Amino acid sequence: MRIIVTGGAGFIGANFLNQLVPTLPEHSFVNVDKLTYAANLESLRAIDSLPNYVLRQVDITDMAQVDAVFDELDPDLVVHFAAESHVDRSILGPREFIRTNIEGTFNLLEACRKRWSRDDDRLFHHVSTDEVYGSLGDTGLFTESTAYDPSSPYSASKAASDHVVRAYHRTYGLPVKITNCSNNYGPMQFPEKLIPLMILNALERKPLPIYGEGLNVRDWLYVADHCDAIWTVIQKGRVGRTYNIGGNNEKRNIEVVDTLCQVLAEETGCRVGELFALKRFVTDRPGHDLRYAIDASRVREECGWEPKETFDTGIRKTVRWYLSNQDWVRDVRSGDYRKWIDLNYGSRTA
């Protein structure tokens, strides 16, 4: 099979490629990525000389570039990760989110529609988020039939892209599947997201900025489990169907930060009190969703997928990965990263 993986130099895409490329030599994988600030070629070092892997630097918002790569590769499967993915960046600058997440997805769908016929055995797999469903109160779970109610420009752009993907299936018969997943964590995550930001700040004894009162709840899933879920749905899921993916690991943000401090103290031999003292409650995120929680019974019952990692084992693996990959960390924390930290945290009062 010829497989295009968009956004394969980002966090989840790179984990996906690192898991699959070495184990499936019969398939060829082409990483189609613009290489934005969120990409890191270091994440692909283990696979970049394998014969069944190549990278093409392509901006999916540019239809001519998308057409050229589809003409060259004629893919049987497209796994679409590429996106602007950070909620806080979408609040401070939404335009790129609308362009990449909606128009970029549309361009890929058009490329497939122009080339694939209804009875071809091909597939467009769209990787999406639970944030499309908006916020839960203290109880309840998101199911695949929960109404869309996105809060941020990021989640609105992902919701729009999901709708366009479904419309291409209903209208043109394009073979598609969608997965909507909860919060991922693990190796190679860009340190703008909660878990890697806290790990790296704690290691440098910088403040740990917790939005609001730290009571917002996320359902955390180790990234390898998410990648495994996507591959399982590609193989066993029904065409035209949506699958929610989650870790059954609901945690308040404050609990996540406390756990990270404890694990970091154990792994580095420092006093946990020294790390707890770095916690700062800062101005909340506008439109901050209170709680996400996933009902993953469909993917479990139809495809037989279940997460393998618990939060305790996954967090320890993650902390150890950041401790032993300081070169990777140095690579992504460029001048642009510093500008982002100043922009996002500079005006948040404690």
Q: Decide which of ligand DAU, ligand NAD, none touches 292; Cβ closer than 5 to 8 Å per partner kind.
A: ligand DAU
How many Cβ atoms from other residues are within 10 Å of residue 254's Cβ?
Answer: 16
Is 131 an active-site residue? yes
Q: Which stretch binds ligand DAU (CB under 6 A): 24-32, 38-46, 58-66, 203-211?
A: 203-211
Catalytic residue among 84, 88, 103, 131: 131
Q: Which residue is nearest to ligand NAD (CB)?
A: 10
In the bound state with ligand NAD, the residue whose beta carbon lies nearer, of 106 and 116, is 106
Rule CB under 6 A: is residue 36 a binding residue for ligand NAD?
yes
Q: Decide which of ligand DAU, ligand NAD, none touches 210; Cβ closer than 5 to 8 Å per partner kind.
A: ligand DAU
Beta bridge partners of 263: none
CB of 70 closer than 8 Å to CB of 111: yes
Catalytic residue among 84, 103, 130, 309: 130
Rule CB under 6 A: is residue 28 a binding residue for ligand DAU?
no
Tokens found for residue 153: 């420009």
Which of 211, 321, 328, 337: binder of ligand DAU (CB under 6 A)?
211
How many Cβ atoms from other residues are within 10 Å of residue 350's Cβ?
Answer: 8
CB of 132 closer than 8 Å to CB of 159: yes
Q: Decide which of ligand NAD, ligand DAU, none touches 111; Cβ closer than 5 to 8 Å per partner kind.
A: none
Q: Provide the CA 215 distance to its chain's centre, in angstroms.
A: 22
Q: Quick one: angle between helices 63-73 and 105-115, nearest 10?
A: 40
* Contacts (CB under 6 A) with ligand DAU, residues 179-198: 182-183, 193-194, 197
Which ranges in the chain belong to alpha helices (H)? 11-20, 63-73, 87-92, 95-97, 105-115, 153-172, 194-203, 223-236, 253-268, 272-276, 297-303, 311-323, 326-332, 335-345
* Contacts (CB under 6 A) with ligand NAD, residues 241-280: none
Which of 3, 4, 5, 12: binder of ligand NAD (CB under 6 A)?
12
Rule CB under 6 A: is residue 90 a binding residue for ligand NAD?
no
Which of 4, 42, 78, 85: binder of ligand NAD (CB under 6 A)?
85
Rule CB under 6 A: is residue 260 a binding residue for ligand DAU?
no
Rule CB under 6 A: is residue 216 a binding residue for ligand NAD?
no
Which of 210, 229, 230, 293: binder of ligand DAU (CB under 6 A)?
210
- Report the chain's C-alpha Rg in angstroms: 20
2-6 and 28-33 strand pairing? parallel
Q: Which stretch binds ligand NAD (CB under 6 A): 106-114, 145-153, 180-188, 279-287?
A: 180-188
Which of 29, 81, 168, 305: binder of ligand NAD (CB under 6 A)?
81
Residues 6+ apart with CB under 8 A from 55: 8, 9, 30, 31, 33, 41, 44, 48
Q: Quick one: angle between helices 11-20 and 223-236, nearest 10?
A: 60
Rule CB under 6 A: is residue 162 a binding residue for ligand DAU?
no
In the bound state with ligand DAU, the residue whose beta carbon lies nearer, of 34 and 193, is 193
- The SS3 call for residue 218 is strand
Is 130 an active-site residue? yes
CB of 3 closer than 8 Å to CB of 27: yes
The DSSP H or E segment spanning 55 is strand 53-57
Instruction: Give contact residues for ligand DAU (rule: CB under 6 A).
Output: 85-87, 129-131, 182-183, 193-194, 197, 209-211, 216, 218, 253, 285, 292
The catalytic residues are: 130-131, 154
